């Protein structure tokens, strides 16, 4: 195997590095929704308030995830 300099990356690594800001934005959206849904489910089971906390925290989680997504996309737009 040939030795590569420290600053040289393979083609796949360069593509992944270029896509990482977009992957980060999408993961914020998905994780916000997941945290809201799971938190709502757990609190509903614990407090016996089904389905109200599930619905409420799902909406909050989706909203927070969407806000993070939009914030990241706007920041990426300003870099260009």
Distance of CA 1 to the CA centre of its chain: 37
Distance of CA 70 to the CA centre of its chain: 11
Question: How much is the pLDDT for 54?
Answer: 95
Q: What pTM was estimated for this model as a whole?
A: 0.74
Question: How much is the pLDDT for 51?
Answer: 92
* Residue 6 within any structural domain of the chain: no
- Mean pLDDT score, 57-61: 96
* Residue 56 within any structural domain of the chain: yes
Range of the domain at 29: 24-79
* CA angle (74, 72, 57) in 5-degree steps: 120
Reported as a single tens digit per residue, the pLDDT across 6-27 is 568 889 889 988 888 889 888 9
- Within 10 Å of residue 1's Cβ, how many Cβ atoms? 3
* Residue 9 within any structural domain of the chain: no
Number of structural domains found in the chain: 1
- Could you tell me the pLDDT band of residue 61, with boundaries at 50, 70 and 90? very high
């Amino acid at each position: 195997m040939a030795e590569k300099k420290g600053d040289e990356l393979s083609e796949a690594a360069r593509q992944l590095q270029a896509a990482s800001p977009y992957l980060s934005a999408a993961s914020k959206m998905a994780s916000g929704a997941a945290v809201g849904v799971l938190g709502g489910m757990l609190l509903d089971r614990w407090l016996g308030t089904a389905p109200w906390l599930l619905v409420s925290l799902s909406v909050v989680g989706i909203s927070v995830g969407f806000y993070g997504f939009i914030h990241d996309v706007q920041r990426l737009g300003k870099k260009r």
